[in-house]
């Protein structure tokens, strides 16, 4: 089993707290936890903090098996998308770094009774970690726990744990620069010949599935037609803003000249680097991959989403 420092390292983070998603419903459109990717490995999950097991859900429809720890101070850590393999029982004490469970191997089309059923809200092998003040708010709609303020950003706790001397004397992480803002923001659909995106204030999010497009359209949002080059620039600038909290490198080598950001375990295109002064300043580390490496990575990502 990986150590806490290895499992929760920033390079493993694949989806951050408060990220947008059309199908999220506990807090509408918002991701209430952090996703820890494992490069498609089915491995055991170490506890971030020690705590008493207060809930064990063996077959949540959306999240697979879930283990909830009471870690004290009124906080609960929910470990989601686990398999049914050797789950703990209510009342067990799990110490820091000890096994909580094993990640589900999927796919989501497995029957709910299967040991590796991961839940319907699953896009590949990963841990979905939620921190909140209610033991059931990670997997059910609890009154008073339907806004982001009812949840904690797990990244903050991970930083504290991995910065402590007990965690292999890891260096502290760079302070968080992203602030969750919950007031109403203007949302509209941006469309051009390259496709459709959702603009949320200054962020432009590419739709990941036909279902997300349908949900957005059902909200009756304004649709704005833009020039394809404008659309590409908006996506590129938004990609960089959304990566502000993750260290990433710029990937070169695509024969088309497209540059990509690589953070966590995901490759995202920067369509027009010449429009982004920050790239010209050499602010980010760069690597060069072969065209085949880039093609394979993009194909794997697409397969994981489908």
Does 83 share its domain with 203?
A: no
Q: Residues of the chain with pLDDT > 90: what percent? A: 32
Q: What is the largest CA-CA distance in the chain?
A: 59
Q: Sign of the CA dihedral 153, 154, 155, 159?
A: positive
Please, what is the average pLDDT of the chain? 80
**pLDDT single digits (tens) 7-58:** 998 778 888 888 777 678 898 878 899 999 887 789 999 999 999 999 999 9
Q: How far apart are CA 68 and CA 235, in angstroms?
A: 37
In a domain, 270, yes or no: yes
What is the tally of structural domains in the chain? Answer: 2
Domain boundary among the residues 147, 163, 179 is at: 163
Tokens of 21: 């998603």
**First CA to last CA distance, the chain:** 29
In a domain, 35, yes or no: yes
In a domain, 137, yes or no: yes
CB 1 within 8 A of CB 8: no
pLDDT for res 240 = 60
Tokens of 86: 């050797």
pLDDT for res 208 = 61
Higher pLDDT, 222 or 167: 222
Does 125 share its domain with 222?
A: no
Does 141 share its domain with 196?
A: no
**pLDDT single digits (tens) 52-110:** 999 999 988 899 999 999 999 999 999 999 999 999 999 999 999 999 999 999 888 88
**pLDDT single digits (tens) 225-237:** 999 888 888 877 7
Sheet holding 266-270, edge to edge: 266-270, 259-263, 249-252, 286-288
Q: How far apart are CA 171 and CA 60, in angstroms?
A: 37
Q: What is the CATH number of the domain that holds 92?
A: 2.70.70.10
Q: What's the domain range around 146?
A: 4-163
In a domain, 174, yes or no: no
Does 241 share its domain with 151?
A: no
Q: How far apart are CA 18 and CA 20, in angstroms?
A: 6
Predicted TM-score of the model (pTM): 0.64
**pLDDT single digits (tens) 257-297:** 778 877 656 777 765 555 444 454 455 567 788 889 888 88
Q: How far apart are CA 245 and CA 175, in angstroms?
A: 9
């Amino acid at each position: 089993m990986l150590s806490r420092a290895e499992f929760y390292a920033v390079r493993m983070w694949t989806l951050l707290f408060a990220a947008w998603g059309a199908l999220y419903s506990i807090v509408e459109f918002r991701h209430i936890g952090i996703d820890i990717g494992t490069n498609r490995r089915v491995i055991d999950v170490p506890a971030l903090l020690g705590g008493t097991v207060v809930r064990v859900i063996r077959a949540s429809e959306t999240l697979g098996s879930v283990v909830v720890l009471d870690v004290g101070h009124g906080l609960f850590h929910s470990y989601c998308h686990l398999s049914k393999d050797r789950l703990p029982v209510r009342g067990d004490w799990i110490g820091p770094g000890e096994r909580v469970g094993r990640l589900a191997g999927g796919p989501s089309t497995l029957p709910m009774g299967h040991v590796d059923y991961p839940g319907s809200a699953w896009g590949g092998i990963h841990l979905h970690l939620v921190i909140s003040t209610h033991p059931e708010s990670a997997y059910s709609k609890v009154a008073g726990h339907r806004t982001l303020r009812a949840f904690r950003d797990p990244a903050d706790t991970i930083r504290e744990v991995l910065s402590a001397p007990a965690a292999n004397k890891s260096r502290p992480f760079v302070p968080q620069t992203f602030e969750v803002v919950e007031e109403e923001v203007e949302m509209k659909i941006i469309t051009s010949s390259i496709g459709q995106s959702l603009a949320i204030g200054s962020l432009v999010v590419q739709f990941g599935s036909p279902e997300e497009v349908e949900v957005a359209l059902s909200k009756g949002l304004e649709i704005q037609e833009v020039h394809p080059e404008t659309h590409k620039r908006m996506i590129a600038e938004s990609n960089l803003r959304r990566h502000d909290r993750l260290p990433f490198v710029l990937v070169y080598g695509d024969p088309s000249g497209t540059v990509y950001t690589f953070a966590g375990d995901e490759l995202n295109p920067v369509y027009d680097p010449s429009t982004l002064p920050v790239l010209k300043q050499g602010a980010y580390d760069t690597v060069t991959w072969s065209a085949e490496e880039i093609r394979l990575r993009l194909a794997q990502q697409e397969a994981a989403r489908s």
